[in-house]
Amino acid sequence: MLVGFYKRCSDGAIPAILGPMRSRDRESLLAEARFLVRRGARELNLIGQDITAYGLDRGETGGLVSLVRALCAVRGVRWIRLLYLYPSRVDDGIVDLLRSEEKVCRYLDIPVQHIDAGILRRMGRTYGPDAIYRMLDRLRAGVPGLFLRTSLIVGFPGETRAAFERLLRFVDESRWDYLGVFPYSREEGTPAFRMPTQVPERTKEERARQVRDAQADILAAGNAARIGQTLDVLVEKYGPRGKAAGRHRGQAPEVDGSVILSGFDGKPGSIVRARVTGAKDWDLRGVVVRSRGSESD
């Protein structure tokens, strides 16, 4: 569910193409949610360039939290996932929402982009490294079992070796559950396109590789720690002999891997309890411990 567009930054052309932020009408979003549930949807993903800005164009405060609470009341919705939150607007209201609404997955996608103060300023971000660390501390202290994803850009104009080393240390220290990293790509018509000290393509690719390697070790450790746990899994597809694949609450569609199941005897859209028995690369392996009777709203 697309809730709106927001934010002009120095490296992206999308806001200039789409114009200023527009928040979709709340009733249209609720109507879409009811329609999707009637079509069999079990999970709603709220997506926008900055969903924490929902309602600000209409003078509302707390618009996202109010919207999500209303969506939680839609009968048949099982999971709600929040994607693309602006770091400086992740506040206590969102912490309380995650803690108090069972249907809201304890999962946030917060693209911080970088940790070096100078690079963040050049990107046009309104937060600095201290604010990012404080946000992470507040979220992890306030929401037990929270899964966090971020996106980073390497090779932004002016990124020195020292700035990149700070980013690499940040990856190791902050221990995001999931992390995407992208070499900066020049887009004509953006302020960053004209900035001096562009980073060579080969350097950008090498820096991206180093971040991916560091995150791979963090992901492997996190998946290994989940072996033996019992999780709710939303089944998305199944095959013969009780084989199936799905996602737990800490996995967003298409980007965070899957849970490969054995012992499944239901149909896609089922939410089952499964014990994690192993892990490989991005995926977990598990066995269903309860299938029937696990679908009450």
Model pTM above 0.75? yes
pLDDT at 10 over 80: no
Q: What is the mean pLDDT of residues 68-97?
A: 97
Q: For strand 79-83 and strand 43-48, is the pairing parallel, antiparallel, or unpaired?
A: parallel
Per-residue pLDDT tens over the stretch 16-61: 545 677 899 999 999 999 999 999 999 999 999 899 999 999 999 9
pLDDT at 294 over 70: no
Strand partners, 233: 248, 272
> Residue 97 is part of a domain; what is its CATH number?
3.80.30.20
Q: What is the pLDDT of residue 130?
A: 97
My answer on whether 101 and 134 are in the same domain is yes
* Residue 13 domain-assigned (yes or no): yes
Per-residue pLDDT tens over the stretch 158-207: 999 999 999 999 999 999 999 999 999 988 888 888 898 999 999 999 99
My answer on whether 234 and 199 are in the same domain is no
Q: What angle do CA 178, 183, 185 make, to 5 degrees?
A: 130
> Residue 256 is part of a domain; what is its CATH number?
2.40.50.140
Q: Supply the Cα-derived Rg of the chain in whole angstroms.
A: 20
My answer on whether 142 and 251 are in the same domain is no
pLDDT interval class at 296 (50, 70, 90): very low
My answer on whether 38 and 68 are in the same domain is yes
Which residue has better confidence, 4 or 30? 30
My answer on whether 178 and 272 are in the same domain is no
Which residue has better confidence, 12 or 46? 46
* Residue 213 domain-assigned (yes or no): yes
Residue among 83, 84, 74 at smallest CA distance from 42: 74
* Residue 285 domain-assigned (yes or no): yes
Angle subtended by helix axes 161-174 and 201-225, to nearest 10: 10
* Residue 295 domain-assigned (yes or no): no
Residue among 102, 192, 119 at smallest CA distance from 154: 119
Query: What are the b/e assignments for 95-114, b being 16+ CB within 10 Å?
Result: bebbeebebbbbbbbbbbbb
Residue that finishes a domain, picked among 205, 225, 245: 225
Q: Count structural domains, the chain.
A: 2
Q: What is the pLDDT of residue 15?
A: 55
- Give me the domain span that covers residue 65: 2-225
The DSSP 8-state label assigned to residue 113 in this structure reads: B
Distance CA 76, CA 296 (A): 9
* Rounded percentage of the chain residues whose pLDDT exceeds 70: 92
Which residue has better confidence, 274 or 191? 274
- Unique residue bearing structure tokens 């992208």: 182
